[in-house]
Amino acid sequence: MRPEQWQDFKFVAKGGLLPHAPVALIVDSPWIPGFAGVNHLDYYLDPETWFRANLQVAREFPEVIPVPSWWIEYGMAIEPSALGNRLHFRPDQPPGQSPVLARLEDIERLAPVNPETDGLMAFALQLYRRHKRRIQDSGFTIPLATARGPLCLASYLRGITELMMDLVEDPERVHRLLSFTTETVIRWLQAQAEAIGDTVEGIFLLDDIPGMLSRKSYLEFAHPYLQRICAAFPAGWVKIYHNDANIRPFLADLGGAGFDVLNWTHNVDVLQAREKLGDKICLMGNVPPLDTAVRGTPGEVRAAAREVLSKSGGRGLILSVGGGVSPGMPPENIQAMVEVAREFETQAVAIR
């Protein structure tokens, strides 16, 4: 994103109101290689291919704020690689990974992660150092450090089914596991912020696994760790949380986790989300990402975007899809969202 786009995003995230709601989309390697017509392995392994693909996105959609912006990522492989998981790379899709923690008690043997040396983290940090000046010289900024959340990392280590059973059978060791993954997340975010430099003014955390929990389990196994991560960074920073799973049971509780922005599922209506959260969090969403954004026509995208804006009045809202940009989302559907946001005037305008 450009520096002025970040200022708009930050302004709205912290409670400001613009004449028109901004459009922001989570864009990463599930979508970018297909859009740019490049092989996934080339996108991950060739820095020039990565740079040109991200530059193409920024230039073709100048009114869209890409989140997190110039994200150096290898699908979901960075954190698992530092944890010791086996990775599975393919030329036509993001990589997969296999859990490595066969026994929960072995968490005691895991050494703390060092992002400067462990797995693909070291590669990503070096690429940030190498590219940041070129990105800035091209007129863009890198304002966010990004990581998967603590329950997501725990599921990488154990497997989702095993982790869900662990929550019931051995909650004490699960808390030790989550303390370990939370510290990993904080170290990884801090390392990115240091490598990128003083343009970083926020964090972006992605963790859908809390969406598999009841409210009681969320409050025990997710909320305190999310709070710990948010508290590890300056209060003035923008803190974004992505969870497009079932957040209904604990939606009202998310207002106390420490985040400024929530990218949430299209299955929870924007009015319901606002009722539960009040003005505690800026909402980022929530056009249906598959049935409408990928499979729908531009007209259907416009109708869905108008509905989100009309219900919210455009206040406390960043127009997006209810999740990330999915593979196959056509450019004309992105442009349709931009056109609706440009035409829709928010119901009141704050003085900046």
Mean pLDDT across the stretch 41-50? 96
pLDDT tier, 345 (very low <50, low <70, confident <90, very high otherwise)? confident
**What's the rounded Cα separation, in Å, for the pair 147 and 205?**
5
Mean pLDDT of 302-327: 96
Q: Note the pLDDT of residue 346.
A: 75
Reported confidence tier of residue 351, pLDDT bands at 50, 70, 90: very low
pLDDT tens, residue by residue, 170-197? 999 999 999 999 999 999 999 999 999 9
Task: Tell whether domain 3-343 is in CATH 3.30.230.10.
Answer: no
pLDDT at 31 over 90: yes
DSSP H helices, the chain, are 3-13, 32-36, 40-45, 47-60, 78-83, 119-137, 150-158, 160-169, 171-196, 215-221, 223-231, 270-277, 298-312, 331-343
Residue 81 has pLDDT above 90, yes or no: yes
Reply yes or no on whether the pLDDT at 348 is more than 70.
no
Residue 173: how many CA atoms within 13 Å on its side-chain side? 17
pLDDT of residue 281: 96
- Residue 167 confidence class, pLDDT cut points 50, 70, 90: very high
Q: Say what the pLDDT of residue 264 is.
A: 97
Work out the mean pLDDT of the chain and round it to a whole number. 95
What is the percent of the chain where pLDDT is above 90? 97
- Indicate whether 349 pLDDT > 80: no
Which pLDDT score is estimated for 347? 60
pLDDT digits (tens, 9 = 90+) for 222-265: 999 999 999 999 999 999 999 999 999 999 999 999 999 999 99
Write out pLDDT tens, residues 99-110: 999 999 999 999
pLDDT at 237: 98
Quote the CA–CA distance of 222 and 103 in Å, as a whole number. 21
* pLDDT for position 352: 34
Pairwise CA distance, residues 326 & 278, whole Å: 29
The predicted model scores a pTM of 0.96
Instruction: Give every CB contact of residue 256 below 8 A, 6+ residues apart in sequence.
Output: 223, 227, 280
Q: What is the pLDDT of residues 144-154, one digit of tens each?
A: 999 999 999 99
